[in-house]
């Protein structure tokens, strides 16, 4: 579904997932052989991107591209576009000799983050979804219930254990990411691994038994020692590293005396609304925000404009 109000990279895929086709193996096989079929290749979870004199475009190939994935390679069915063209993703084996890769002159396998910043947003959304599912398959070769090996079924949207019959579905891990605000200022934190000068919103995984509001309050208290009194939902971002859903919120806190958890953060700093405007436009001088590709940037931008 297209939601013009959601500004996030990896959201707003233009495809109809056509879930009713997933169980129809004959339709999937026929669809992949159609002239209008489009296949995205991945190698070690990096999507193939065309490169023409430095101009990068999505590496959509025809169904014949499957031959590059080895005999019997399965494809992941991603859905159909507005014209009805079926879209798939397939993986070139990890051990393939990439020096001899037949399409090397046309482009390269690009890191997913870099690709998302280079490619049109609709393609980034489709490829991000594919990456998350291909990654899930790699990590779920065995049944969590009985330990036997599992098989990929239903166009790549399920794994089935032939031994105990358990069905396994792709996982999504919810993460809350919140901009803590107090009056006319907001708190941003720095992790030691961040590039020098970069500050971002606080974040953490939602735990079992927690609402989004509870997770926002717990993480804000744990990481910054601040008490949340109101939570406002902003937007969500599918985040395929490996398979999270970032739930962006604005969190109003009751005071501005933070106590940092130094296991999580190196430091934290309050920024005024005027400074927030400078952070998102890259004109602050001392500090900068994550790029527009990150939901933290969008949260800050929304609050800075308010
Ligand atoms: Zn099993």
Tell me how far the alpha carbon of residue 25 is from its chain's centroid.
Answer: 28
The pLDDT of residue 4 is: 57
Domain of residue 148 covers: 140-170
Q: How far is the CA of 136 from the centre of ligand 1 (A)?
A: 17
Residue 103 has pLDDT above 90, yes or no: yes
- Ligand 1: distance of its center to the CA of 75 in Å? 23
- Please state the rounded mean pLDDT for residues 225-230: 98
Is residue 7 assigned to a domain? no
Q: Which CATH number goes with the domain that contains 45?
A: 3.90.79
What is the C-alpha to C-alpha distance for residues 168 and 160, in angstroms, rounded to an integer?
6
Give domain status of residue 235, yes or no.
Answer: yes
Q: Whole-angstrom Cα distance, residue 72 to residue 74?
A: 6
Q: How far is it, in rounded angstroms, from Cα 111 to Cα 69?
A: 19
Note whether 24 and 116 are same-domain residues.
yes
Q: How many other CB atoms are found less than 10 A from the CB of residue 134?
A: 21
Residues 116 and 159 placed together within one structural domain of the fold:
no
Question: What are the pLDDT digits (tens) for 198-207?
Answer: 999 999 999 9
* Alpha carbon of 144 to ligand 1 centroid (Å): 7
Q: 112 with 241: CB under 8 angstroms?
A: yes
CA of 91 to the centre of ligand 1 (A): 25
Under the banding of pLDDT at 50, 70 and 90, the label for residue 1 is: very low
pTM of the model: 0.94
- Total domains, the chain: 3
Q: Comparing C-alpha atoms, which of 57, 65, 121 is closest to residue 91?
A: 65
| CA 285 to centroid of ligand 1, rounded, Å | 56
What's the CA-to-centroid distance between 158 and ligand 1, angstroms? 13
> Cβ distance 250 to 261 under 8 Å?
no
Using CA atoms, how far apart are residues 127 and 129, in angstroms rounded to an integer? 5
Please report whether residue 164 resides in a domain: yes
């Amino acid at each position: 579904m297209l939601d013009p109000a959601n500004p996030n990279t990896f959201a707003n895929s233009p495809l109809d997932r056509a879930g009713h086709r997933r169980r129809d193996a004959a339709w999937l096989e026929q669809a992949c052989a159609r002239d209008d079929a489009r296949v995205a290749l991945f190698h070690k979870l990096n999507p193939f991107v065309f490169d023409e004199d430095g101009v990068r475009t999505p590496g959509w190939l025809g169904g014949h591209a499957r031959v590059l994935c080895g005999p019997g390679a399965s494809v992941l069915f991603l859905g159909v576009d507005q014209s009805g063209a079926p879209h798939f993703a397939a993986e070139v084996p990890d051990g393939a000799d990439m020096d001899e890769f037949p399409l090397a002159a046309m482009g390269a396998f690009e890191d997913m983050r870099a690709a998302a910043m280079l490619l049109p947003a609709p393609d980034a959304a489709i490829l991000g979804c594919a990456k998350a599912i291909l990654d899930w398959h790699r990590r779920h070769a065995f049944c969590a219930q009985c330990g036997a090996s599992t098989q990929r079924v239903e166009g790549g949207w399920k794994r089935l254990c032939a031994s105990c019959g358990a069905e396994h579905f792709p996982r999504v891990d919810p993460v809350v990411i919140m901009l803590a605000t107090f009056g006319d200022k907001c708190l941003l934190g720095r992790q030691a691994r961040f590039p020098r000068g970069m500050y971002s919103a606080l974040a953490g995984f939602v735990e079992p038994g927690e609402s989004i509001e509870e997770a926002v309050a717990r993480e804000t208290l744990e990481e910054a020692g601040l008490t949340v009194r109101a939570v406002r939902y902003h937007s969500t971002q599918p985040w395929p590293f490996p398979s999270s859903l970032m739930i962006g919120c604005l969190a109003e806190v009751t005071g501005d005396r933070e106590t940092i958890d130094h296991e999580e953060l190196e430091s934290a700093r309050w920024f005024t609304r005027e400074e927030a405007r400078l952070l998102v436009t890259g004109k602050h001088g001392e500090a900068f925000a994550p790029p527009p590709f990150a939901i933290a940037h969008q949260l800050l931008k929304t609050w800075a404009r308010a």
